[in-house]
Structure 1
Amino acid sequence: MDVIRGLFGLVEDLTWGWSLIPILVIFGVFMTLMSGFVQFEFFGRMFRVLSSKNQSGDPNAISARQALLVSVGGRVGGGNIAGVAVAITLGGPGAVFWMWVIALIGMATSLVESSLAQLYKRSNGDGTYRGGPASYIIYGLGAQYRWLAVVYAICLMAAFAFGFNAFQGNTFAGAANDSLGVDRVWSGLLLAVITGLIVYGGIRRIAKVADVIIPIMALGYIAMALLIIVLNISDLPGVLWTIIANAFGLEEAVSGGVGAALAQGLRRGLFSNEAGLGSAPNVAATADVRHPISQGITQSFSVFIDTIIICSCTAFMILLSPVYVPGAEGMDGVALTQQSLVSQLGVWSQYFLTFAILLFAFSSIIYNYYLGETALSVMTRSAPALHVLRLAIIAVVFLGATAPGATAVFFFSDPLMGVLALVNLMAIVMLFPVLLRILGDFRAQLKAGVARPVLDPRQFSDLDLDHSAWSYAARSGAPAGEEAAVPVPPRA
């Protein structure tokens, strides 16, 4: 066991230890520049996904909004509550600024990977779609890279479906035990039963559940943060100045100064929003949309919601409270966030936070399950294998919740997430010229006056696309050359 731990520890050192975070930042900046700051260009369009006018016309399909909410549910988890607290404890208030920066850069990375996942998605034949990095590796780079897609799928399943689901169960059970005195066994049973009911309903049930609980989760948490901000509005300018000053070394809150703030902000920001890690594109591919870039824009919005909004809520809860003392040791993670709430709003708020953690954990569990299901489909479409996966994930959720030290078994999660991130980044860099082509098509249609651009796969006949997954051009009755008939930009 020590040898295995040592091997995974080496993998983590070679990825998250020193190489992966700079690579993710550099790639994000590169994609921002080469795409013409696409995340800012289409920022206004991101909010259109919230309107019912922009939903799928097929009642059996997953809408863009549902795909957005499933991905938000996956991105928003314990990292938004405990992770932000840890970042502030270790990096000082300046870490919050660098979380904002990495989110704005990561919005471009998320748009690129999610647009490619949409472009190369495959129809399941029942009104739903499946895709993600494994699909754009196989159909974008070629069948000779299938082995790379399998490596990606194995890492995805092990890290998210098993490892991180155990952590989510553990986070909720711990919070329920600390604040409500509920035994971990009962918390584990509750999570396991609810998880079973959802995962056996497939992506449609997952999407419908997310459509209900994610808005409640996000809006409730935001409302709590806004209440604290209003109660401390006179202190807000000082907190904002502290964040900026600490980020650039004008003030030093913890040992390490700017370096600690930068390292913690970037690391926690990337862990939270997952931009470039290759996880969210699996959900992005399920949406029934008119053009791949449309879902890319939507998933870029998901990063904005996760970090700029939700993580900032946690940060202001902590920094506006008297509980947080820069450089002090002893209290961090969920406890710091919880005590910050109690100091501002009273004991009742810790119960609200426990409820929020339940929703955060559960939304992440069903998201992580779907990633595991997508990974399994790369290796086999066997119904018994899917049944085994579902039972295994239910068991893992229960195990993670009931045994305080059980999550130590899943020490391989972070290293494998590092591997799948590197695989995903290699793929999207190799396919970046294709992304620029479809981005050019989207921009050209907007310039020609098409309010809602439509991808016509016939204009990209050199790409291995599933034409049945792109039926909007056919539904509109427009032959090639009309609604989606905008001259295709030259190949990059």
Structure 2
Amino acid sequence: MSELFGQINAIVWSPALVFLCLGAGLFFSIRGRFLQIRHFREMIRLVFQGKVSETGISPFQALSMTLAGRVGTGNIAGVATAITFGGPGALFWMWVVAFLGASSAFVESTLGQIYKEKINGEYRGGPAFYIEKGLGMKRYAWVFAFTTIVSCGLLLPGVQANAIADSVNTAFSIDTSVTAVILALLLAFIIFGGLRRIALFASAVVPFMAIAYICVALFIILINIDRVPEMFWLIIRSALGFDSAFGAILGLAIMWGVRRGVYSNEAGQGTAPHASSAASVSHPAKQGLVQAFSVYVDTIFVCSSTGFMLLITGLYNVETAAGDAIYTGVVGVGAGPGYVQAALEGLMPGIGNIFVAVALFFFAFTTILAYYYIAETNVSYINRFVARPWMSTVLKFAVIGAVVYGTLNTAELAWSLGDTGVGLMAWLNIVAIFFLSKIAFQCLADYESQKAQGIDPVFHPTAMGIDNAEYWQERLEAQESIE
């Protein structure tokens, strides 16, 4: 099966998708006058603004839920894999994807807010909603919804579960079957508790673990501060093809950097708008800016922490596409979290293995929760007009089954399945947001105009000529009736 999905990924992750991701991010950056730089302070301010409502979650909880999806095994195992097959320069291209992807994240999350709906007392939104309402293409929307249910419900959870099992086995020698049972029980307890339980768990765990992980990386960098200049020079040389050892794999550095960058930060992939649409805000651009910031947190902070720890200690391997070794820094460890565990264990004996295993457990487990929520939102989209409650129940058991399957199978197969899911969603979503980006930037201009007037921006879709934003129109009418 690994061979089959390897062939599928060769098509899905062709150079065309790499250029599409980078090209879309560059286009949105120029179109938004590099909003990811201009509004950086505003992004941070908005994270802590707003409150939980009866039908939605706070901007901070929405950020935590999207970070739960972004910050996962891709930040640890994914970075290690990118360096193994793309060299140190792959980290540079992950930064490029993050910088450009922040504008893509703004566009898709703003669109998610504009076209969201209230379903069964909760805010729901995402690509399927804005494809149907914004583009007027219901069949296309259903294709995305079905693809996302399969990807997030069946393909992607196994990658996270497999990484958890691998790191836990390395640190504690716990059999993978035991890990599978524990994950299944914990997952069932949370997902059967609904959106609020998922949001509370994510907002409690993700910020704490991300900060702890970054602090450990900073500690390692400080005790090896004399190696930092050479590490950065190695990254730049490798990324631009100037390094004598890694210059021959420049194309792989770009491909793996973009692939793992998109997998990790998910900008343009279409996952983040699902959670960001659930936030209670007065203007869609607010959540768009918050989600642009989340891309920085994921890649510039967390992914860089992993990459720096590996490169500064030299505990990583690099090999060609044919499997020939270019650089060998660690023996007997496969590409993945084992590299990071080896690096930390060498510097903090008896602690390093355990810390990485705990960090990866929480990062990856919260990502599984985010995947479930995304898949469940698309089930809700399909069920808007015809009640099929059994579909949500089937999805819950399918996600639990995917986690057990991924835990017990090889990492190679798990990553192949995950790459296929991410690639298919990225293709469908980036094309859609390209055609809808005018509306998102119109929304940004309105936000900036109201801010310049010194008022807290409020969204008026009809005044802006935006159709099918029923939730916002109904909200305005309700407020006017009260006044």
**TM-score when scaled to structure 2?**
0.91
Hey, what's the Cα distance between the residues in 1 that align with 2:347 and 2:477?
Answer: 54
* SS at 2:463 equivalent: helix
Hey, what's the Cα distance between the residues in 2 that align with 1:66 and 1:460?
Answer: 29
- Cα distance, 1:440 vs. partner? 1.5
Q: Give yes or no for contact 2:26–2:100 (8 Å, CA) kept in 1.
A: yes
Hey, what's the Cα distance between the residues in 1 that align with 2:313 and 2:360?
Answer: 20
Q: Give yes or no for contact 2:90–2:254 (8 Å, CA) kept in 1.
A: yes
The residue identity in structure 2 corresponding to 1:15 is: V
Between 243-252 and 424-433, report the one with greater CA deviation: 243-252
The yes-or-no answer on 1:24 pairing with 2:21 is: yes
Query: What is the match of residue 33 of structure 2?
Result: 36
Cα–Cα, structure 1 residues 72 and 253, in superposed 2: closer, same or farther, change >3 Å? farther
The yes-or-no answer on 1:350 pairing with 2:353 is: yes
- Cα distance, 1:413 vs. partner? 4.3
Q: How does 1:155-234 map to 2 (within 5 A)?
A: 155-234=147-226
Cα–Cα, structure 1 residues 412 and 169, in superposed 2: closer, same or farther, change >3 Å? closer
Q: Give yes or no for contact 2:74–2:260 (8 Å, CA) kept in 1.
A: yes
Hey, what's the Cα distance between the residues in 1 that align with 2:446 and 2:417?
Answer: 41
Match of 2:336 among 327, 330, 333: 333
Query: What is the match of residue 391 of structure 1?
Result: 397
Hey, what's the Cα distance between the residues in 1 that align with 2:229 and 2:262?
Answer: 27
Q: Give yes or no for contact 1:167–1:407 (8 Å, CA) kept in 2.
A: no
Q: Give yes or no for contact 2:75–2:264 (8 Å, CA) kept in 1.
A: yes
**TM-score when scaled to structure 1?**
0.89
Query: What is the match of residue 490 of structure 1?
Result: none
Match of 1:400 among 394, 403, 406: 406
- Cα distance, 1:397 vs. partner? 1.5
- Cα distance, 1:67 vs. partner? 0.7
The residue identity in structure 1 corresponding to 2:227 is: D
Q: How does 1:9-408 map to 2 (within 5 A)?
A: 11-51=8-48, 54-56=49-51, 58=53, 61-124=56-119, 126=121, 128-142=122-136, 145-254=137-246, 256-324=248-316, 327-329=326-328, 331=333, 332-380=335-383, 381-401=387-407, 403-405=408-410, 408=413
* SS at 1:123 equivalent: strand
- Cα distance, 1:291 vs. partner? 0.8
5+ unaligned residues in a row in structure 2: which ranges? 319-325
Hey, what's the Cα distance between the residues in 2 that align with 1:167 and 1:209?
Answer: 21
The residue identity in structure 1 corresponding to 2:84 is: T
Q: Give yes or no for contact 1:64–1:295 (8 Å, CA) kept in 2.
A: yes
The residue identity in structure 1 corresponding to 2:327 is: A
Query: What is the match of residue 486 of structure 1?
Result: none
Hey, what's the Cα distance between the residues in 2 that align with 1:471 and 1:78?
Answer: 39
The residue identity in structure 1 corresponding to 2:132 is: I
Query: What is the match of residue 323 of structure 2?
Result: none
Give aligned pairs, total. 469
Query: What is the match of residue 488 of structure 1?
Result: none
Cα–Cα, structure 1 residues 454 and 125, in superposed 2: closer, same or farther, change >3 Å? farther
* SS at 1:457 equivalent: coil
* SS at 2:280 equivalent: coil
Q: Deviations over 1:150-177 (max 9, x none)?
A: 1111111111221111221121112212
5+ unaligned residues in a row in structure 1: which ranges? 480-492
Q: Deviations over 1:415-451 (max 9, x none)?
A: 343232222122112212212221121111112222x
Cα–Cα, structure 1 residues 253 and 345, in superposed 2: closer, same or farther, change >3 Å? farther
- Cα distance, 1:321 vs. partner? 0.8
* SS at 1:328 equivalent: strand
Cα–Cα, structure 1 residues 469 and 281, in superposed 2: closer, same or farther, change >3 Å? farther
Hey, what's the Cα distance between the residues in 2 that align with 1:134 and 1:398?
Answer: 28
Q: Give yes or no for contact 1:122–1:469 (8 Å, CA) kept in 2.
A: no
* SS at 2:313 equivalent: coil
Hey, what's the Cα distance between the residues in 2 that align with 1:148 and 1:187?
Answer: 38
- Cα distance, 1:46 vs. partner? 1.3
Cα–Cα, structure 1 residues 211 and 320, in superposed 2: closer, same or farther, change >3 Å? same
Between 103-112 and 332-341, report the one with greater CA deviation: 332-341
Query: What is the match of residue 443 of structure 1?
Result: 448
- Cα distance, 1:195 vs. partner? 0.6
Query: What is the match of residue 455 of structure 1?
Result: 459
Hey, what's the Cα distance between the residues in 2 that align with 1:189 and 1:9?
Answer: 29
Q: Deviations over 1:380-432 (max 9, x none)?
A: 2422221121122122222322x234983895543343232222122112212
Between 105-114 and 15-24, report the one with greater CA deviation: 15-24
Hey, what's the Cα distance between the residues in 2 that align with 1:477 and 1:220?
Answer: 48
Hey, what's the Cα distance between the residues in 2 that align with 1:244 and 1:122?
Answer: 45
The residue identity in structure 1 corresponding to 2:401 is: A
Between 439-448 and 253-262, report the one with greater CA deviation: 253-262
**TM-align CA RMSD:** 2.4
Hey, what's the Cα distance between the residues in 2 that align with 1:76 and 1:256?
Answer: 31
Q: Give yes or no for contact 1:159–1:414 (8 Å, CA) kept in 2.
A: no
The residue identity in structure 1 corresponding to 2:229 is: P
Q: Give yes or no for contact 1:123–1:466 (8 Å, CA) kept in 2.
A: no
Q: Give yes or no for contact 1:456–1:473 (8 Å, CA) kept in 2.
A: no
Hey, what's the Cα distance between the residues in 2 that align with 1:470 and 1:428?
Answer: 25
Hey, what's the Cα distance between the residues in 1 that align with 2:375 and 2:317?
Answer: 41
Q: Give yes or no for contact 1:113–1:281 (8 Å, CA) kept in 2.
A: yes
Hey, what's the Cα distance between the residues in 1 that align with 2:404 and 2:26?
Answer: 40
- Cα distance, 1:351 vs. partner? 0.5
The yes-or-no answer on 1:464 pairing with 2:455 is: no
